[in-house]
C-alpha cells in the first residue's frame, strides 16, 4: 500500500508507463481477490466496501431486471446495507418479502421456496450473520434460485476468510466482500458479478470497473485488499483452529455465569463468533467495564451500537427485548491465544457479579443477593 501511495502513483487509466504500472497493480489485486472466492478476475468490481457492494447488488440487480418482475426476497436478519436498500426499493415500486429465521438464526429453505413467485427477480440472503455468526445454507438456496432462474446475491462479508467461499459451489450470481473484515484496509471491498448477470450501475462517470463502478480507483486500498485476500486464502486452515478457542469461551461463559445464554447456532457458526446474553444486565454497561480491563467487545452490531434499540437480529430470532439488551458479542481473531480466553473467563464473571449487585432488575428477582436493598423497595 505504501508503494501504491508513493512510487506507484500513476492513474491506472493513463496511457503512460506510470499509468500502466498502476494498472498492473490493480489487475494483480483483482486476480488475488478473484482467486479467494473462485471467480474470474473480470467478474470482480471494486467498491468502497461491503456496504456499497450490497447496495450495488440489490438496487443494481433490481433496477436492471425490473421489466421481468418487481418482487425481491431477503431475510429479516440481513445487515442494514441490505435492509435499507430493500426499504428504498419498496418506496420505489418493488415488493419485498422478509423471511423469518429460527431461534438459532437460520433461514429455512422451505420458507424460501414457498416465498418465490412468478415475479420474483432477486433473492439476497447473507452467508454468515455479523451478530450471531450463523452460517446459512447458501448452496441449497443457490440451487433453488438457479432452477427458478432468479438472480441470487449473498452478503459474504462475514464468511470470506473464515470459512471456504466458492462462488460456483454456492451457486451465487452476486457476492459482497469487504477488505477490513479480512484484516485488510477500511474503505475498500468488491462485488462479484457472475458473467452475464445484469446489474445497473449506481454511480455514473468514467468507464472504470467495466462501467459498473466508475471513478478513479482507490489503488492503495485495492492493493491492500489484494494482499489481504492472498493471505486469507493461505491462512484459511489456520482460522479453523479458532473453533477450539471459540468453544472454550462459549462453554466457559455458560458454565461460570448464571442466567447466561448463547445466541445463534451452537455449531453452525463461524470460528470467530461468540454472542451471549447475560440476563439482568445491559450489554453496553458490560462493554465499558470490559474495556477498562483491556477486553474489546461489542453489543449488537458495531454500526448500531450507541443506539438503544435492541438488535433486529436477536428480535427476529424470537429473543425478548430484555434478553436482547443484555447481549455481548466477542469476536476472535488470528492473534488470539488460549491465555486471552482464560483472561476473559476470569474477568467477565467478576464484572457480571459486580454489575448485577447494583442492578435493581436482578436484586428484586433474586431477593437477598442485593447490596442495595433500598433500591429494591423502589422497584
Ligand X SMILES: *Cc1c(COP(=O)(O)O)cnc(C)c1O
Question: Counting contacts by CB under 6 A, is residue 112 touching ligand X?
Answer: no
Is 320 among the residues known to form the active site? no
Q: Which single residue is written with the C-alpha cell 427476529?
A: 316
Nearer to ligand X, 43 or 54 (CB): 54
Question: Counting contacts by CB under 6 A, is residue 272 touching ligand X?
Answer: no
Of the residues 86, 190, 303, 364, which is catalytic? Answer: 303
Question: Counting contacts by CB under 6 A, is residue 178 touching ligand X?
Answer: yes
Q: Select from 17-25, 141-149, 176-184, 191-199 the region that touches ligand X (CB under 6 A).
A: 176-184
Q: For 259, left (φ over 0), alpha (ψ -120 to 50), or beta?
A: left
Question: Counting contacts by CB under 6 A, is residue 264 touching ligand X?
Answer: no
Print the binding letters for residues 71-100 with ligand X: x by CB under 6 A, - otherwise: --------x-x-------------------
Grid coordinates given for 64: 436492471
Which residue in the shown chain puts its C-beta closest to ligand X? 50
Q: Which single residue is written with the C-alpha cell 452475464?
A: 196
The residues facing 329 across adjacent strands are 275, 298
Question: Counting contacts by CB under 6 A, is residue 157 touching ligand X?
Answer: yes
Among 21, 112, 126, 175, binds ligand X (CB under 6 A): 126
Question: Counting contacts by CB under 6 A, is residue 189 touching ligand X?
Answer: yes
Q: What are the Cα distances from residue 1, in Å, to 8, 16, 187, 340?
A: 9, 21, 13, 31
Q: What are the Cα distances from residue 43, in Å, to 60, 161, 239?
A: 15, 19, 26
Nearer to ligand X, 58 or 341 (CB): 58
Binding footprint of ligand X, residue count (CB under 6 A): 15
Q: Enter the DSSP assignment of 346.
A: H
Question: Counting contacts by CB under 6 A, is residue 158 touching ligand X?
Answer: yes
Q: Considering the complex, what minimum distance in angstroms separates the CB of residue 225 from ligand X?
A: 10
Q: Considering the complex, what minimum distance in angstroms separates the CB of residue 126 from ligand X?
A: 6
Question: Counting contacts by CB under 6 A, is residue 130 touching ligand X?
Answer: yes
Question: Counting contacts by CB under 6 A, is residue 138 touching ligand X?
Answer: no
Question: Counting contacts by CB under 6 A, is residue 239 touching ligand X?
Answer: no
How far, in Å, CA of 22 to CA of 222, rounded?
11
Q: Considering the complex, what minimum distance in angstroms separates the CB of residue 216 from ligand X?
A: 19
The residues facing 45 across adjacent strands are 191
How far, in Å, CA of 165 to CA of 138, rounded?
10
Question: Counting contacts by CB under 6 A, is residue 310 touching ligand X?
Answer: no
- Kindly give, in sequence order, each residue whose CB lies less than 8 Å from that of residue 352, ignoring residues fewer than 6 positions away: 257, 260, 278, 281, 286
247 exposure class (CB count in 10 Å sphere: 0-12, 13-18, 19+): middle
Nearer to ligand X, 79 or 265 (CB): 79
Grid coordinates given for 231: 493471505
Strands of the sheet with 327-331, listed across from one edge: 260-262, 273-278, 327-331
How far, in Å, CA of 130 to CA of 40, rounded?
27
Nearer to ligand X, 180 or 194 (CB): 180
Catalytic residues: 303
Residues lying near ligand X in the complex (CB under 6 A) are found at: 49-51, 54, 79, 81, 126, 130, 155, 157-158, 178, 180-181, 189
Amino acid at each position: 500500500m505504501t508503494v501504491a501511495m508513493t512510487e506507484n502513483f500513476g492513474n491506472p487509466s493513463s496511457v503512460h508507463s506510470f499509468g500502466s504500472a498502476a494498472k498492473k497493480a490493480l489487475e494483480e489485486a483483482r486476480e488475488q481477490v478473484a482467486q479467494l472466492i473462485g471467480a474470474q478476475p473480470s467478474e470482480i468490481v471494486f467498491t468502497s466496501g461491503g456496504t456499497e457492494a450490497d447496495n450495488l447488488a440489490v438496487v443494481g440487480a433490481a433496477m436492471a431486471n425490473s421489466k421481468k418482475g418487481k418482487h425481491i426476497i431477503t431475510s429479516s436478519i440481513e445487515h442494514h446495507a441490505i435492509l435499507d436498500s430493500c426499504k428504498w426499493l419498496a418506496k420505489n415500486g418493488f415488493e419485498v418479502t422478509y423471511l423469518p429465521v429460527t431461534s438459532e438464526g437460520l433461514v429455512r429453505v422451505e420458507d424460501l421456496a414457498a416465498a418465490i413467485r412468478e415475479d420474483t427477480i432477486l433473492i439476497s440472503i447473507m452467508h454468515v450473520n455479523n451478530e450471531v455468526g450463523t452460517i446459512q445454507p447458501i448452496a441449497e438456496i443457490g440451487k433453488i434460485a438457479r432452477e427458478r432462474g432468479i438472480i441470487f446475491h449473498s452478503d459474504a462479508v462475514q464468511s470470506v476468510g473464515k470459512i471456504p467461499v466458492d462462488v460456483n459451489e454456492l451457486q451465487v450470481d452476486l457476492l459482497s466482500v469487504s477488505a477490513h473484515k479480512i484484516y485488510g484496509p477500511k474503505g475498500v471491498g468488491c462485488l462479484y458479478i457472475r458473467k452475464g448477470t445484469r446489474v445497473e450501475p449506481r454511480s455514473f462517470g468514467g468507464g472504470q470497473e467495466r462501467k459498473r463502478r466508475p471513478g478513479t480507483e482507490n489503488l492503495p486500498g485495492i492493493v491492500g485488499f489484494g494482499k489481504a485476500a492472498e493471505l486469507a486464502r493461505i491462512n484459511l486452515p489456520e482460522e479453523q483452529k479458532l473453533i477450539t478457542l471459540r468453544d472454550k469461551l462459549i462453554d466457559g461463559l455458560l458454565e461460570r455465569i448464571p442466567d447466561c445464554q448463547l445466541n445463534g447456532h451452537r455449531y453452525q457458526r463461524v470460528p470467530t463468533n461468540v454472542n451471549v446474553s447475560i440476563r439482568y444486565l445491559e450489554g453496553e454497561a458490560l462493554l465499558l467495564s470490559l474495556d477498562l480491563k483491556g477486553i474489546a467487545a461489542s453489543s449488537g452490531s458495531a454500526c448500531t451500537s450507541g443506539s438503544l434499540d435492541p438488535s433486529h437480529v436477536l428480535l427476529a430470532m424470537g429473543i425478548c427485548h430484555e434478553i436482547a439488551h443484555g447481549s455481548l458479542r466477542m469476536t476472535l481473531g488470528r492473534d488470539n491465544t488460549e491465555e486471552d480466553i482464560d483472561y476473559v473467563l476470569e474477568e467477565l464473571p467478576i464484572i457480571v457479579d459486580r454489575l448485577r449487585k447494583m442492578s435493581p432488575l436482578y436484586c428484586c428477582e433474586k431477593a437477598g443477593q442485593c447490596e442495595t436493598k433500598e433500591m429494591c423497595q423502589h422497584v
